[in-house]
Structure 1
């Protein structure tokens, strides 16, 4: 077998272990036998494209992620210019800071322009822990009927299942570091 095929098996095992799945769980999710999966992870057999597709679908990763290799230390780098971004709420932009595929943590930097907010109404998502750190400016956090004024370097922790809304109350822009554990997709 080629080194590339060996690396694919190693990567499948890495992703399976990250998900805290046993071979049996991956087998049940893919319809592939435990014996085949074990041999593939150890580089003793090859996998077809269809089998690889079943594996990536079950693990919730893209085909490309299966071919990515990490540094020996397991470190993954996300360069600032490569950070995914998306418009967020009203007059705000959300930037993903954590490299993809972290199972237990997700970090965003959110920049709120003057008067910007997460939207006109409070919202919820999942039931994760959220930590906000005000990096610049000042924001108001609405949690149900409670209101918290947070200034630079202030932090607050709450559950994502509690209706919440963030509003920039600074005369200029404000920036918030938003940490969610586990990620609520």
Structure 2
């Protein structure tokens, strides 16, 4: 593989990994590789065998062909519910990317929170982007502000709240049915 192709492949792997909020160590574990190998691959300093590329693609929820495909080559793509890449979430919570490919200007996540489940024990931050949290079904309290000072905002179907991702935030399903929600973040956070 030519040096520039190796660098492009590494950049794509890094983009897909960060979009899925995986650490280098997490991707390495899922692909049965060392973290230093994944880091070198992402920086274009080494190449990978076909078998390794298959394991990396599988860990990222992609095909090997998609690792080599430029975004510009594909004008559209349908992502079925069962094909959504899953992200780490707390107990009783599920979070999925709505797009298989990294998007330049926006991230969209679909999620489910079982009754009593939350996005974490404590409010969290990530970058300094705009985020919209939209409840599609159920009832969710979104807490905004630092621990001890956070204020809850009760949301029902069709309700949303907008905030900066630098503001500590946490969502809790305080209803008695599984809640379906959307997160929209612009620009995408690292």
Runs of 4+ in structure 1 off by over 2 angstroms are: 48-51, 55-73
Among candidates 24, 30, 50, match of residue 3 of structure 2:
50
Tell me if the contact between 1:132 and 1:156 (Cα under 8 Å) persists in the aligned partners: yes
Alpha-carbon separation, structure 2, partners of 1:53 and 1:66: 11
**Structure 1 residues 78 and 107, CA, compared in 2 at 3 Å: closer, same or farther?**
same
- Structure with max Cα Rg: 1
Aligned position for 1:36: none
Aligned position for 2:111: 110
Show structure 2 runs of 5+ residues with no match.
Answer: 17-63
The 5-angstrom pairing of residues 1-185 of structure 1 reads 48-58=1-11, 60-61=14-15, 64-65=65-66, 67-68=68-69, 74-144=75-145, 145-185=150-190
Offset at residue 72 of structure 1 (A): 7.4
Offset at residue 147 of structure 1 (A): 1.4
Offset at residue 132 of structure 1 (A): 0.9
User: How many pairs were matched up?
Assistant: 138
**Structure 1 residues 61 and 128, CA, compared in 2 at 3 Å: closer, same or farther?**
closer
Show structure 1 runs of 5+ residues with no match.
Answer: 1-47
Aligned position for 1:29: none
Alpha-carbon separation, structure 1, partners of 2:80 and 2:70: 16
Alpha-carbon separation, structure 2, partners of 1:73 and 1:179: 22
